[in-house]
Chain A
Amino acid sequence: MNRLNIALVVGLVAVGIYLSTLSSESVGSMKASFMSLLSPFLRTGTAMQQNIGSFGQRLKTLDELDVENTRLKIENRVLRTENSLMRETQAENQRLRLALDFRARSSHKLVAARIISRDSSTWWSTIRINRGFEDGVEADQPVVTDGGLVGKTTTVSKNEAIVVLVTDESCRIGAKIEGTREQGIVTGLRIQENTSEGMLQMNFLSKNAEITSGMDVLTAGVAHGSFPPGILIGKVREFHRRALDGQAFVEPAMDLSIIEDVFVLVGKK
């Protein structure tokens, strides 16, 4: 290796070391720009994969489509009726709160989003959604479905956001077990043995807690946390007593590998 080559290698290593010292804000904005640049290509790749995968499923007969359409129309009518009844209840609730001089409970604005691709890395559980800062999405906002908690947003670009799932170890959630006074931290497992199912662990529980399998685990809504209280995370599968504390293994509220649409809680109404 001649001197010029050695100098080039040293120069590149120096650039690498310099880049490693950049702040998370700087690299976050670089990642967001990179996402915007790569997005059309990744979307095309994922769309092709989905089209190939769902080719057999899309071959439905007209009769099947007719039945499905009728079922969806009925469901739509039922939901509309329920919605109007709930609106009345909400208005009544508001009136009573005003009469009692209660502070209004915060309700969140939801932004519907579609999952455009699933995690492409070996070690992290993430998804990409088709909503970005143009739609009011910011980093560290909770992502939910009607079934429960999905995760929280991390890197947000113009029209896309990366969501770290609850099954990822880096997503930490302050949680409580319904029907008890137990609170702890829910995280995913570092190495998920079953990638499609996923499993969560809840640590720092009391050693003597009376926790049985099937109990609901909800977000605790701790101060300065990302998650509001009362969102279903999952159900307790097992509870272990350790030397100093208790640990519960929690099954996620829904199968995260099959969800297609989510909602981002973008702030208060």
Chain B
Amino acid sequence: MKTLIDLIALFAGVFLAFVVQHALPPMDDLQGARVVLVPLVFCYAAIVLPFPAMLAAAFYTGFFSDLFYLHIVGGAVEIPMGISIIYYVILGCLASRFRSGPETAKMWMFSVLSGAGTCTFLLLQFLMITWHRGGWEWAGAAAWRILAPGLMAALIAPLFHLVVSHIDNLIPDFSRMRRASRR
């Protein structure tokens, strides 16, 4: 029951993250870098949820990401559908390894994974575009647009963890209560 509530909360959280990051304008002082929140929300779910539920979350987040970032010009798709699903499955498998650790370690790993996961996602997009359009182009602005959202995600993550884990503790865990009453 608790897992189901967590999963539904994640679905709503990812949806909200898309809406919020869509509304936030790019930061001109950081070379047009944008706030990317979805990998952060997913990493939290991957650390908290059991493995099969994490995979459901990876599918949902990846599918939404693919549709959200789908860019079709002249009948050509720049980043094929399904790439984000595979990416979030890999990220989720990594994150779920820290599920059983102590709470403080979990928070720091969540922070590191959110930052690294955001940067890797943006780098993956850049590499896919480069592969599709051909020719290698690089500029300082590209590095900023990859690293700055990751850094922001890593900085937001501890606060996000504190707030969401506090809310999570308020939700009753019926399975735990049932086990306790049986004892």
- Identify the A interface with B (CB < 8 A): 1, 4-5, 8-9, 12-13, 15-22, 24-25, 27-28, 30-31, 34, 38, 41-42, 44-46, 48-49, 117-118, 120-124, 126, 140, 154-155, 164, 168-172, 190-193, 195-196
Instruction: Write the B5-30 contact mask toward A (1 if CB under 8 angstroms, else 0).
Output: 00000000001001111111110100
Q: Which residues of B contact A8 (CB under 8 A)?
A: 51-52, 55
Stretch at the interface among B133-141, B157-165, B175-183: B133-141
- B77 to A24, Cβ gap below 8 A? yes
- A192 to B55, Cβ gap below 8 A? no
Partner of A169, one of B28, B89, B133: B133
Bound-complex Cα distance A68 to B156 (A): 44
Bound-complex Cα distance A169 to B62 (A): 25
- Identify the B interface with A (CB < 8 A): 15, 18-26, 28, 31-34, 36, 51-52, 55, 58-59, 62-63, 66-78, 80-83, 85-86, 89, 93, 122, 125-126, 129-130, 133, 137-142, 145-146, 149
- B85 to A155, Cβ gap below 8 A? no
Bound-complex Cα distance A215 to B63 (A): 46
Partner of A24, one of B34, B76, B145: B76
- B70 to A155, Cβ gap below 8 A? yes
Known: A5-B51, A16-B62, A27-B77. A122 touches B33 (CB 8 A): yes
Partner of B73, one of A13, A154, A195: A154
- B129 to A190, Cβ gap below 8 A? yes
Q: Which residues of A contact B62 (CB under 8 A)?
A: 16
How near does chain A come to B55, taking the closest CB pair, in angstroms? 5
Q: Which residues of A contact B67 (CB under 8 A)?
A: 30-31, 34
Q: Which partner residue on chain B sits nearest A164 by CB separation?
A: B73
- A120 to B22, Cβ gap below 8 A? yes
Q: Which residues of A contact B32 (CB under 8 A)?
A: 122, 192, 195
Q: Which partner residue on chain A sits nearest B85 by CB separation?
A: A16
How near does chain A come to B49, taking the closest CB pair, in angstroms? 13
Partner of A49, one of B25, B36, B93: B25
- A122 to B34, Cβ gap below 8 A? yes
- B28 to A17, Cβ gap below 8 A? no
How near does chain A come to B66, taking the closest CB pair, in angstroms? 7
How near does chain A come to B59, taking the closest CB pair, in angstroms? 6
Q: Which residues of A contact B129 (CB under 8 A)?
A: 123, 190
Q: Which partner residue on chain A sits nearest B93 by CB separation?
A: A9
Additional 18 contacts, C-beta under 8 A, given A19-B82, A193-B31: A8-B52, A9-B89, A12-B89, A15-B85, A17-B86, A20-B80, A20-B82, A22-B80, A28-B72, A31-B70, A38-B19, A42-B19, A121-B71, A170-B74, A190-B133, A191-B138, A195-B28, A195-B32
How near does chain A come to B91, taking the closest CB pair, in angstroms? 12
- B122 to A122, Cβ gap below 8 A? yes
